[in-house]
């Protein structure tokens, strides 16, 4: 069965960077686009960007361009998201999601807290 296992909670100071991971299993990793979506406390969902695992091509939401980098490792079926120049407003749960028409499978989420 499809499983997306994300890395654990992160606490960072403003201005720092964070890199979180999402390890996929149960399907052909290179065949499906993978997205990152975040959710601030008590707020709605916000799309961060997508990576195409087969070639590594990425597309980022305009709000994150210049601050986000998505990568993948096909040897371990893992995708990564690095967000730099962190601000308090980046405090959120970050989810990875496998796309099959839409966001069909989700990771459990990684809480990133940005606080001085």
Partner 1 sequence: QAGLTQPPSVSKGLRQTATLTCTGNSNNVGNEGAAWLQQHQGHPPKLLSYRNNNRPSGISERFSASRSGNTASLTITGLQPEDETDYYCSAWDSSLSAWVFGGGTKLTVL
Binding site residues, partner 1, CB under 8 A: 35, 44-47, 50, 59, 61-63, 95, 100-104, 106-109
* Least separation in angstroms between CB 85 and partner 1: 19
* Least separation in angstroms between CB 71 and partner 1: 20
Nearest residue (CB) to partner 1, 55 versus 116: 55
Nearest residue (CB) to partner 1, 48 versus 86: 48
For residues 82 and 19, give the distance between their C-alpha atoms in angstroms, rounded to a whole number. Answer: 4
Query: What burial class does residue 51 get, using C-beta atoms within 10 Å of its C-beta: 0-12 exposed, 13-18 middle, 19+ buried?
Result: buried
Nearest residue (CB) to partner 1, 80 versus 103: 103
* Least separation in angstroms between CB 16 and partner 1: 25
Nearest residue (CB) to partner 1, 43 versus 74: 43
* Least separation in angstroms between CB 19 and partner 1: 20
For the chain, helix, strand, coil in percent to 5 are: 10, 55, 40
Q: Is residue 1 classed as helix, strand or coil in its secondary structure?
A: coil
| Torsion on CA atoms 45, 46, 49, 53, rounded to nearest 10 | -10
For residues 113 and 26, give the distance between their C-alpha atoms in angstroms, rounded to a whole number. Answer: 30
């Amino acid at each position: 069965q499809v499983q997306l296992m994300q890395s654990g909670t992160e606490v960072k100071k403003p201005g720092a960077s964070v890199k979180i991971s999402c390890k996929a299993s149960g399907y052909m990793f290179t065949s499906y686009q993978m997205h990152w979506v975040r959710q601030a406390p008590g707020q709605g969902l916000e799309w961060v960007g997508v990576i195409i695992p087969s070639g590594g091509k990425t597309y980022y939401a305009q709000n994150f361009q210049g601050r986000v980098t998505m990568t993948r490792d096909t040897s371990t079926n893992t995708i990564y998201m690095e967000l730099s120049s962190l601000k308090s407003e980046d405090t959120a749960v970050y989810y990875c999601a496998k796309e099959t028409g839409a966001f069909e499978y989700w990771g459990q989420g990684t809480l990133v807290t940005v606080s001085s």
